[in-house]
Amino acid sequence: MRLQGSICALVTPFGADETIDFPALRNLIDWHLDCGTQALVIAGSTGEAALLDDVEYAQLIEGAVVAAAGRLPIVAGIGSPSTRKSLALANTARMAGATALLAVTPYYVRPTQQGMRSHYLHIADRCGLPLILYNVPGRTGCDLLPETVAELAGHAAIIGVKEAVADAQRMQELLALASPDFAILSGDDPTALRAMLAGAVGTISVAANVVPRTFSRLCVLAAQGRHTDATDLDKQLQPIYVALSMQSNPIPAKWLLQRMGRLHGTLRLPLHRLAAEYREQVETCLADIHRGEATMTADTDGNG
């Protein structure tokens, strides 16, 4: 398989009692399908995966697979500091019906490049699903370097990398590894357009949680090489990127989605609701979000 376009790293909706809100999950998935999202990452860092127990993890992946009903790929996050635990999560995701896996580098333990190489090869040899590498040093404390990615890219089960380092030179080094069997995906919303115009085939996005139709359009424009139109649209999205980074992800995203009536907004400790001093600035994005999504809807209806 080959993932491309707007891929949303979906939040996990919880009810007031902190249990998974499956009706809200189904509604979110239907909304993304209507808005042109090309795939969903379930139980990634945006989905508070580290705060789920094993039973909830399996239920969440299965619930998403059932709700999607084959209409778009479900990519399961399998992040863990432990290779053994990551493989166990991969097996759970496979049995739950996931389409592919997104494996963040082993956080906290700070492995060497050789350790990460062995980690990914061990999983790829045994997981039974397409595997996407995920590098986000700001969260994990380790950095999967392009030369290590190059050693992994030839494995038949490893189909791409999500790179969240916002460095143009890093992205160029990874793009040199791109092939029909190995996709380069941005993992950083503020620099996603730059990456896509340089050759990345899509973005695994947090912003797509709150502006799915607009972000999908951005990815389409980038894929079509419409630099001016894409750049203009990206400028409109910059305040939303800023708002979503004011506190740890997914705190601002869930605040906005609650204000939009999409979910309850519950976070699990140690995450806490958006701090009062940020709320006014984040709230100012709501009008932009509604206006932008409405414009994209009108354009789609008018132009097919």
Q: How many CB atoms lie within 10 A of CB 278?
A: 15
Which residues pair with residue 182 across a beta bridge?
A: 179
Q: Taking a C-beta distance cutoff of 8 angstroms, is the pair 89, 78 a contact?
A: yes
Active-site annotation holder among 120, 134, 241, 254: 134
Beta strands in 167-281 (DSSP E): 183-186, 202-205
- Is 162 designated active site? yes
- Is 134 designated active site? yes
User: Using CA atoms, how far apart are residues 72 and 69, in angstroms rounded to an integer?
Assistant: 8
User: Using CA atoms, how far apart are residues 47 and 69, in angstroms rounded to an integer?
Assistant: 20
Active-site annotation holder among 120, 162, 241, 254: 162
Beta strands in the chain (DSSP E): 5-9, 39-42, 74-77, 100-104, 131-135, 158-163, 183-186, 202-205
- Provide the annotated active-site residues: 134, 162
